[in-house]
């Protein structure tokens, strides 16, 4: 064959504006999945303070003697940034769950015609749940 | 044409387990979130509270299982994603090894933590 | 440099043979899109409604076309005009070097899948009035461009051939001794949609996974295999053999249910559904050993 | 140079079947096709394959129907071969996995079709041709038969003895569309032409853009006569803008034709007082054109086919695909508006003259499918009879080319002692070659070199020179202009209505096209995928083929089958039970006739009036 022209990767991802529901769902699911596994590792790391906690280690927080585990958790929870990240985590988890359910349905061959609608529904529900949870997540924290 | 595929096909198993674990995770993750953010608020968590919950064998076992499935699901997911992106040959094997080690470590550490929470260590 | 004075055949006097495309000097190869545009614009004022199309141009051999570019054409609109009609008009009246595959003009030969306004579509099956203007017409993404709208289809054909796309009987007896095989109408209905594929390649071009993994069989080939695997006339044993091909690493598992294939298929084949069904079949088959 | 035992040119239904057969007969086969096989126009066939499969039906009835449909211009040995072999060949397709529609008991479905005395049209949904084409291509893949796709065959490499019966075809010359390379393909045993119909000779056709009669023209120029070219079938309901076929089913279900005045003209203007819209294809087509001609056409072009009164439910149930066709290709919603329709060229009954084994008078040259004329369709093809022709005669041609003995043919080919010369007709212009563009009749050396390679090399050289000339020429006319003029001439004057004056006009216009073609040039300077070049070569072929259609239409002064002449509106059996043959004769076409064979295996078919 004579020469031909390869439009390369730019063609592939430069076209994001033209992506359809299914592609976005795929990208979001990937992204949220990675965040979640990343979080799982951090989560266990943080919880590891309970090993010391169990041995009765304590630390002084604001003049009070607290179990290390309790102190770490409450210390983190006292940070506004962490609370915000938690809301983010919730959003990520909720989307991953909802879209995960959508994918499970797709795998079972149920409701394939509605695959795009169910993706939009997942997005909207995620948004709604996240917004609704903000008060719960942000109680008792000061900036 | 025949050399395009091998008769040994692990793909299906991984795919299947990813779905099974997902189905399990839906329930447990929802439960977990609900319990620790809405019933008990995260900022109120204390070692005492955690210890009390962990004393319940059912809860303890659920959490361990949660950990194992989540670790498998997450790591398998990452692995599949990388393979789908064209990871091949030696690098693929290396990634698999690293991921397996990481997840085993994660599970081991997690169980250790959970036992500690129960006060068994 | 020649000027583009394309006069389309006059609408008022369709009977005059002399008018038939008589005055259509071809666009100079060097003429950029703008040139064509100016004159066409002028003409558009004179005549009735026109359609503005922007067509991707590339030719490895022709100076000025080696760097891909877009050319603008304004073609007179007629009710019922398809994208293919528009590019054919542009070729016959303005620039005979405009190159694309086409043949049947009725959505059965699968030659003219283009990337039209950001979506894979069959030129002959897309009414131009349904599209936003200017209509941007490009070759299928994720395939190498041979020239203008022509892409290299070899890889697509290779993938189609990989799934052993032919009926496998043990020994078919000589024609003289053949007896008709039976097949239930339900079974025939089951494979009906899958058998409609015209090998246009639109699905493969739309799939991000196929773009990233050259060995991925792709939706069309998997669908082709589905047609055979689900046909009861073939043996159980052969079905298993087919599943083995499909469940290889670059087979069905690669599909991430992005659905773009299903969305672009001009024959409305439920590709994702077929792929998913095959994944389940493969799992079922493997579960038997547990 | 490539070399194979059998070279099949064209990969539609006929070509694929021939290749499989030759392969099964042990030959090393290659297919050379300007389109990838699955792009061939066989894929467009909707209706079905006629085959006497069922108890109660039998091949003799099929043969009888075919003969009657042909208006007694079919050759009995061919017609009977078709009818006898079609059932087995159809079942063979079924064994190759073709997804035929099925009955409750699991047997293949058959439906009634026009002109058939028994419902024997075997179908696979409304896309029989698509399935036939793909099923056979799959078998070609299975057998690993070599396919050179997107190679355009330009010429046959044939020796140039004075008498075509002495000539030998050694292969073909083709150019690779993708790279522009010109190469010879040597055929050690035979070349099978299966290049399909010449529909593009008309400007409004249900045929694909690729149906340019290349095989006809190549064989013609190599010395094989073209037979019965005047018989062209026009379909009364095709969409005006694209020529897409709207199936007879719409009228069958009760669809009505209206003119611009809203009159149901089939009745109101007395074209067919009994059957109305359901009269036979040619009658309806003529009625439509008369309406348009008398100023009662919509936009002076077409008439309306209305099915709205059938109701949405019935339409959705039985004619859903028609809704899609009208919507996709014409932008019309058949539920809310009537559909525009007009007659379109549909099928060529005539073609390259061959015998039952598919062989032409040139040794080693075969033809099958729509480009060939065996003749089974005679003056008029019955719906559902073309697909069986592909599989029955495609197979025979393939086997014979591969050296299998199929017995002596009863049909004779070429100029011989059984033909009758045309003497009377005065032609308005001299037909045939106009000079410069020697697009290659036969390798010119006075029959000195019989050595295959030599012949091939010379033909390749001629082809290269021809392409260079077309490419090097800086200006002149472009083929599109000539093609448009040719198509218009054919549609205006050699269409459904034919008058002596009209056909003569057409011949003059064709002559003009020929002369203009001397000044043709290719504007696209690239060797890569140069469709401009390809179409320019095709246009030359169209000119040759169109000319034979017009010549045939001029000499046959009777009304038979699809051929209607204003001045001669009756069938003349005493004079015209014979085939029209036109031979290129090195650029000076001559016309002769060969009697029809009406004696079948068990009976003689007596011409009867063709009425249904
Ligand atoms: C819309 C429509 C509906 C029809 N419905 C029916 C029906 O229901 N039943 C029925 O029996 N018949 C039907 N027919 C008729 C029938 O389909 C055709 O006669 C038949 O398919 C022709 O097949 P073929 O193999 O001869 O040619 P094609 O299928 O046209 O194939 C021609 C091949 O030749 C190749 N070729 C041509 N020129 C060259 C060249 N120069 N070099 C290399 N390759 C070349 C092409 O690439 C192609 O592969 C229908 C026809 C049409 C148009
Ligand atoms: C709670 C319910 C969950 C559901 C229903 C769910 C569902 C799924 C499904 C179906 C997939 C497969 C996607 C595919 O292969 O196409 C997947 C991928 C993934 N999941 Fe989950 N999951 C859940 C929870 C989690 C958790 C807790 C984690 C983190 C530990 C996680 C991490 C991942 C990762 C990393 C992937 C791979 C993403 C990728 O393809 O790149 N998931 N999930
Ligand atoms: S599956 Fe659909 S989109 Fe894909 S090649 Fe076939 S017809 Fe085209
Ligand atoms: S677009 Fe690709 S990812 Fe699957 S659903 Fe279709 S093959
Ligand atoms: S031209 Fe054949 S599919 Fe469009």
Q: Where are the domains of chain B?
A: 13-118
How much is the pLDDT for D608?
A: 85
Ligand nearest to the CA of A22: 4
Instruction: Confirm if D186 and D459 have CB atoms less than 8 A apart.
Output: no
Split into its structural domains, chain A has a count of 1
ipTM: 0.90
**Chain mean pLDDT for chain D:** 93
Q: What does the pLDDT average to over D344-373?
A: 97
How much is the pLDDT for C35?
A: 41
Kind of pairing, strands D29-33 and D2-9? parallel
D345, D360, D394 - which closes a domain? D345
How much is the pLDDT for D247?
A: 84
Residue A112 lies in a domain: yes
Same domain, D379 and D312: no
Confidence band (pLDDT; 50, 70, 90) for D446? Answer: low
Confidence band (pLDDT; 50, 70, 90) for D101? Answer: very high
List all residues 6 or more positions away from A93 whose beta carbon is below 8 Å from its beta carbon.
A32, A36, B29, B33
Instruction: Confirm if D570 and D558 have CB atoms less than 8 A apart.
Output: yes
Same domain, D289 and D144: no
Q: B92 pLDDT exceeds 90?
A: no
Q: What does the pLDDT average to over D158-174?
A: 93
Q: Closest Cα to residue D367, out of D390, D397, D400?
A: D397
Per the annotation, the verdict on D514 as an active-site residue is no
pLDDT tens, residue by residue, B19-46: 999 999 998 988 887 887 777 776 777 7
Residue C154, chain D, CB below 8 Å: the answer is: no
Quick one: closest CA in B to C164, which residue? B1
How much is the pLDDT for C284?
A: 85
Q: D50 pLDDT exceeds 90?
A: yes
d(CA D434, CA C7): 30
In degrees rounded to 5, what are phi and psi of residue D119?
-70, 90
DSSP state of D419: -
Q: What does the pLDDT average to over D466-483?
A: 94
Confidence band (pLDDT; 50, 70, 90) for C16? Answer: very low
Q: D22 pLDDT exceeds 70?
A: yes
Confidence band (pLDDT; 50, 70, 90) for D463? Answer: very high
Same domain, D6 and D109: yes
- Whether residue C273 and residue A2 make contact (CB cut-off 8 A), yes or no, is no
HEC readout, D167-183: CEEEEEEEEECCCCCEE
How much is the pLDDT for A5?
A: 60
Confidence band (pLDDT; 50, 70, 90) for B7? Answer: very low
Mutate to test the pocket of ligand 1, among D194, D243, D348, D368 (most ligand atoms within 8 A of CB): D194
d(CA C5, CA D154): 34
Helix (H, G, I), strand (E, B) or coil at D336: coil
Touching chains, C (3+ CB pairs < 8 A): A, B, D
DSSP state of D585: G
Residue B23, chain A, CB below 8 Å: the answer is: yes
Q: C44 pLDDT exceeds 50?
A: no
Nearest-atom index, ligand 1, CA of D244: 1
pLDDT tens, residue by residue, C185-236: 999 999 999 999 999 999 999 998 888 888 899 999 999 999 999 999 998 8
Same domain, D357 and D319: no
Confidence band (pLDDT; 50, 70, 90) for D12? Answer: very high
From the list D94, D102, D488, the residue facing C184 with the nearest CB is: D102
How much is the pLDDT for D205?
A: 95
Q: Which CATH number fits domain B13-118: 3.40.50, 1.10.760, 1.20.1300, 1.10.1740?
A: 1.20.1300
Q: D87 pLDDT exceeds 80?
A: yes
Q: Which domain holds residue A66?
A: 19-137
**CA distances for A48 relative to A42, A45, A57, B36, D183, angstroms:** 10, 5, 13, 17, 76
- Whether residue B26 and residue A93 make contact (CB cut-off 8 A), yes or no, is no
Helix (H, G, I), strand (E, B) or coil at B90: helix
Q: D408 pLDDT exceeds 60?
A: yes
Q: C98 pLDDT exceeds 80?
A: yes
Considering A82-86, A94-98, C245-249, D436-440, the range whose residues carry the highest mean pLDDT is A94-98
HEC readout, D35-95: CCHHHCHHHHCCCCEECCCCCCCCHHHHHHHHHHHCCCCCCHHHHHHHHHHHHHHHHHHHH
Q: C24 pLDDT exceeds 50?
A: no
D378, D413, D448 - which closes a domain? D413
Residues of chain C with C-beta less than 8 angstroms from the C-beta of B83: 249
Q: What does the pLDDT average to over D562-575?
A: 93
Which range (C14-18, C90-94, D470-474, D602-606) has the least confidence? C14-18
pLDDT tens, residue by residue, D102-112: 999 999 999 88
Quick one: closest CA in D to C17, which residue? D485
Ligand nearest to the CA of C193: 3
Produce one character per residue of D135-149: b if its CB has 16 or more CB atoms within 10 Å, e if not.
bbbbbbbbeebbbbb
From the list C68, C208, C280, the residue facing A23 with the nearest CB is: C208
How much is the pLDDT for D439?
A: 63
What is the set of domains in chain C, with CATH numbers?
17-150 (3.10.20.30), 154-170+183-284 (1.10.1060.10)
pLDDT tens, residue by residue, C133-145: 999 999 998 888 9
pLDDT tens, residue by residue, D199-233: 999 999 999 999 999 999 999 999 999 999 999 99
d(CA D47, CA D29): 30
Kind of pairing, strands D2-9 and D182-193? parallel
From the list C144, C212, C270, the residue facing A112 with the nearest CB is: C270
Q: For ligand 3, is residue C200 a contact (CB within 6 Å)? A: yes
Ligand nearest to the CA of C226: 3
CA A115 to chain centre: 22
Same domain, D276 and D395: no
How much is the pLDDT for D202?
A: 96
Residue A6 lies in a domain: no
D375, D392, D413 - which closes a domain? D413
The CA-based diameter of chain B, rounded to the nearest angstrom, is 64
Q: What does the pLDDT average to over D149-153?
A: 97
HEC readout, chain A: CCCCECCHHHHHHCCHHHCCHHHHHHHHHHHHHHHHHHHHHHHHHHHCHHHHHHCCCEEEECCEEEEHHHHHHHHHHCCHHHHHHHHHHHHHHHHHHHHHHHHHHHHHCCCHHHHHHHHHHHHHHHHHHHHHHHHHHHCCCCC
How is residue C179 written in tokens? Answer: 């007896």
Nearest-atom index, ligand 2, CA of A40: 30
List all residues 6 or more positions away from D348 whose beta carbon is below 8 Å from its beta carbon.
D197, D198, D199, D229, D231, D232, D233, D370, D549
In degrees rounded to 5, what are phi and psi of residue D322?
-65, -40
Confidence band (pLDDT; 50, 70, 90) for C11? Answer: very low
Q: What does the pLDDT average to over D276-290?
A: 86
pLDDT tens, residue by residue, D231-268: 999 999 999 988 899 988 788 788 999 999 999 999 99
Same domain, D295 and D364: no
Which range (A59-68, A134-143, C117-126, D337-346) has the least confidence? A134-143
Q: Closest Cα to residue C231, out of C169, C176, C173, C177?
A: C169
Residue A36 lies in a domain: yes
D599 or C5, which is more confident: D599
Confidence band (pLDDT; 50, 70, 90) for C1? Answer: very low
How much is the pLDDT for A3?
A: 46
Residue A10 lies in a domain: no
Residue D436 lies in a domain: no
How much is the pLDDT for B10?
A: 56
Considering B32-41, C18-27, D314-323, the range whose residues carry the highest mean pLDDT is D314-323
Confidence band (pLDDT; 50, 70, 90) for D517? Answer: very high
**Chain mean pLDDT for chain C:** 83
Q: What does the pLDDT average to over D500-517?
A: 96
Residues of chain C with C-beta less than 8 angstroms from the C-beta of B15: 253, 279, 283
Q: Which domain holds residue D397?
A: 2-232+347-413
Residues of chain D with C-beta less than 8 angstroms from the C-beta of A2: 178-180, 527-528
d(CA D259, CA D243): 19
Take atom 1 of ligand 5 and give the residue whose Cα is closest: C105
Q: What does the pLDDT average to over A108-118?
A: 87
How much is the pLDDT for A142?
A: 62
How much is the pLDDT for B40?
A: 75
Q: For ligand 2, is residue B21 a contact (CB within 6 Å)? A: no
Split into its structural domains, chain D has a count of 2
| Bridge partners (DSSP) listed for residue D592 | D421, D581
pLDDT tens, residue by residue, D111-122: 888 788 899 999
Q: For ligand 1, is residue D463 a contact (CB within 6 Å)? A: no
Take atom 41 of ligand 1 and give the residue whose Cα is closest: D153
Q: D362 pLDDT exceeds 80?
A: yes
Output the CA D110–ligand 5 centroid distance in Å: 28
Same domain, D149 and D296: no
Cα-based angle D257, D118, D322 (whole degrees, multiple of 5): 35
How much is the pLDDT for C28?
A: 38
Residue A5 lies in a domain: no
How much is the pLDDT for A72?
A: 82
Here the CATH number for the domain that contains residue D226 is 3.50.50.60
Whether the bond into C49 is cis, omega within 30 of 0: no
How is residue C3 written in tokens? Answer: 């000027």
Helix (H, G, I), strand (E, B) or coil at C137: strand
Produce one character per residue of A93-121: b if its CB has 16 or more CB atoms within 10 Å, e if not.
bbbbbbbbebbeebbeeeebeebeebbee
Same domain, D340 and D406: no
Here the CATH number for the domain that contains residue A124 is 1.20.1300.10
Count other C-beta atoms under 10 Å from residue B32's C-beta.
16
């Amino acid at each position: 064959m004579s020469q031909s022209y390869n439009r390369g990767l730019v063609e592939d991802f430069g076209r994001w504006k033209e992506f359809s529901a299914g592609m976005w769902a795929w990208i979001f699911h990937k992204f949220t999945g990675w965040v979640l596994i990343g979080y799982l590792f951090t989560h266990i790391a943080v919880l590891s303070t309970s090993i010391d906690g169990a041995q009765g280690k304590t630390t002084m927080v604001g003049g009070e003697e607290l179990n290390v585990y309790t102190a770490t958790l409450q210390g983190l929870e006292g940070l506004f940034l962490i609370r915000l990240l938690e809301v983010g985590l919730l959003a990520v988890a909720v989307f991953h769950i909802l879209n995960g359910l959508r994918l499970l349905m797709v795998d079972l061959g149920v409701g394939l015609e509605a695959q795009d609608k169910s993706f939009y529904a997942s997005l909207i529900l995620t948004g709604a749940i996240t917004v609704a949870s903000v008060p719960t997540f942000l109680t008792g924290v000061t900036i | 044409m025949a050399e395009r595929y091998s008769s040994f096909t692990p793909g299906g198993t991984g795919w299947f387990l990813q779905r099974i674990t997902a189905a399990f995770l839906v329930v447990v993750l929802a439960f977990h979130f609900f319990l620790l953010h809405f019933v008990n608020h995260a900022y109120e968590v204390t070692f005492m509270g955690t210890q009390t919950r962990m004393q319940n064998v059912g809860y303890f076992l659920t959490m361990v299982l949660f950990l194992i499935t989540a670790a498998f699901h997450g790591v398998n997911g990452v692995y599949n994603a990388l393979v789908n992106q064209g990871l091949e040959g030696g690098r693929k094997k290396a990634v698999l090894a690293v991921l397996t080690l990481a997840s085993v470590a994660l599970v081991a550490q997690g169980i250790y933590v959970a036992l500690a929470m129960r006060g068994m260590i | 440099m020649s000027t583009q004075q394309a006069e389309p055949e006059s609408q008022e006097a369709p009977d005059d043979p002399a008018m038939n495309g008589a005055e259509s000097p071809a666009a100079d190869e060097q003429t950029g899109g703008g040139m064509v545009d100016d004159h066409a614009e002028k003409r558009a004022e004179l005549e009735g409604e026109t359609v503005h199309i922007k067509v991707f141009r590339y030719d490895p051999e022709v100076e000025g076309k080696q760097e891909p570019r877009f050319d603008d054409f304004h073609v007179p609109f007629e009710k019922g005009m398809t994208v293919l009609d528009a590019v054919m008009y542009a070729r016959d009246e303005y620039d005979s070097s405009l190159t694309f595959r086409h043949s049947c003009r009725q959505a059965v030969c699968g030659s003219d899948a283009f990337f039209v306004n950001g979506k894979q579509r069959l030129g002959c099956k897309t009414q131009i009035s349904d599209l936003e203007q200017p209509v941007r017409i490009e070759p299928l993404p994720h395939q190498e461009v041979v020239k203008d709208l022509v892409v290299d289809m070899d890889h697509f054909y290779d993938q189609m051939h990989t799934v052993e796309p032919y009926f496998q009987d043990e020994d078919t007896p000589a024609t003289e001794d053949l007896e008709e095989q039976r097949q239930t109408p339900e079974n025939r209905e089951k494979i009906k949609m899958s058998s409609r594929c015209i090998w246009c390649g639109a699905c493969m071009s739309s799939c991000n996974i196929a773009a990233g993994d050259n060995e991925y069989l792709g939706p069309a080939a998997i669908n082709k295999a589905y047609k055979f695997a689900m046909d009861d006339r073939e043996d159980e044993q052969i079905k298993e053999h087919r599943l083995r091909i499909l469940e290889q690493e670059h087979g069905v598992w690669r599909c991430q249910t992005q659905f773009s294939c299903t969305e672009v298929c001009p024959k409305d084949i439920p590709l994702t559904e077929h792929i998913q069904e095959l994944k389940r079949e493969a799992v079922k088959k493997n579960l038997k050993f547990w | 140079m490539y070399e194979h035992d059998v070279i099949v040119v064209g990969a539609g239904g006929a070509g694929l079947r021939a290749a499989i057969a030759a392969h099964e007969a042990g030959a090393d086969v290659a297919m050379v096709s300007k389109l990838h096989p699955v792009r061939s126009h066989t894929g467009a066939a909707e209706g079905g394959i006629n085959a006497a499969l069922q108890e109660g039906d039998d091949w003799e009835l099929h043969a009888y129907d075919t003969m009657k449909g042909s208006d007694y211009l079919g050759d009995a040995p061919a017609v009977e071969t078709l009818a006898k072999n079609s059932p087995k060949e159809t079942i063979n397709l079924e064994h190759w996995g073709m997804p035929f529609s099925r009955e409750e008991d699991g047997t293949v479905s058959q439906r009634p079709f026009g002109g058939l005395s028994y419902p024997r049209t075997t179908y696979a949904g409304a896309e029989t041709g698509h399935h036939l084409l793909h099923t056979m291509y799959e078998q070609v893949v299975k057998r690993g038969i070599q396919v050179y796709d997107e190679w355009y065959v330009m010429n046959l490499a044939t020796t140039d003895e004075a008498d075509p019966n002495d000539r030998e075809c050694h292969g073909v010359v083709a150019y690779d569309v993708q790279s522009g390379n010109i190469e010879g393909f040597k055929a050690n045993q035979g070349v099978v032409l299966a290049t399909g119909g010449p529909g593009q000779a008309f400007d409004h056709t249900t045929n694909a853009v690729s149906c340019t009669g290349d095989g006809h023209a190549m064989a013609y120029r190599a010395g094989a006569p073209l037979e019965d070219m005047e018989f062209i079938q026009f379909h009364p309901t095709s969409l005006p803008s694209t020529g897409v076929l709207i199936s007879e089913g719409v009228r069958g279900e009760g669809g009505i034709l209206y003119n611009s005045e809203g009159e149901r003209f089939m009745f109101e203007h007395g074209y067919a007082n009994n059957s109305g819209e359901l009269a036979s294809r040619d009658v309806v087509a003529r009625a439509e054109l008369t309406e348009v001609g008398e100023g009662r056409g919509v936009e002076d072009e077409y008439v309306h086919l209305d099915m709205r009164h059938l109701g949405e439910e019935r339409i959705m149930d039985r004619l859903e695909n028609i809704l899609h066709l009208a919507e996709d290709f014409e932008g019309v919603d058949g539920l809310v508006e009537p559909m525009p329709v007009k007659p379109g060229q549909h099928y060529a009954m005539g073609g390259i003259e061959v015998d039952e084994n598919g062989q032409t008078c040139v040794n080693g040259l075969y033809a099958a499918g729509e480009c060939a004329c065996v003749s089974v369709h005679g003056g008029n093809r019955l719906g559902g009879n073309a697909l069986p022709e592909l599989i029955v005669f495609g197979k025979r041609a393939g086997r014979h080319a591969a050296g299998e003995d199929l017995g002596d043919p009863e049909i004779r080919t070429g100029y011989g002692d059984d033909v009758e010369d045309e003497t009377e007709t005065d032609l308005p212009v001299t037909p045939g070659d106009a000079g410069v563009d020697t697009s290659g009749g036969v390798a010119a050396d006075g029959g000195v070199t019989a050595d295959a390679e030599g012949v091939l090399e010379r033909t390749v050289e001629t082809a290269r020179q021809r392409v260079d000339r077309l490419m090097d020429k800086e200006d002149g006319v472009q083929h599109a202009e000539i093609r448009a003029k040719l198509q218009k001439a054919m549609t205006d004057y050699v269409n459904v209505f034919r008058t002596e004056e009209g056909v003569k006009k057409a011949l003059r216009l064709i002559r003009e096209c020929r002369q203009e073609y001397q000044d043709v040039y290719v504007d696209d300077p690239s060797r890569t995928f140069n469709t401009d070049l390809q179409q320019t070569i095709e246009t030359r072929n169209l000119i040759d083929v169109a000319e034979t259609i017009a010549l045939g239409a001029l000499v046959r002064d009777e009304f038979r089958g699809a051929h209607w002449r204003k001045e001669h509106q009756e069938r003349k059996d005493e004079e015209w039970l014979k085939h029209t043959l036109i031979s290129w004769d090195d650029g000076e076409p001559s016309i002769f006739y060969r009697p029809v064979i009406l004696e079948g295996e068990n009976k003689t078919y007596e011409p009867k009036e063709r009425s249904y």
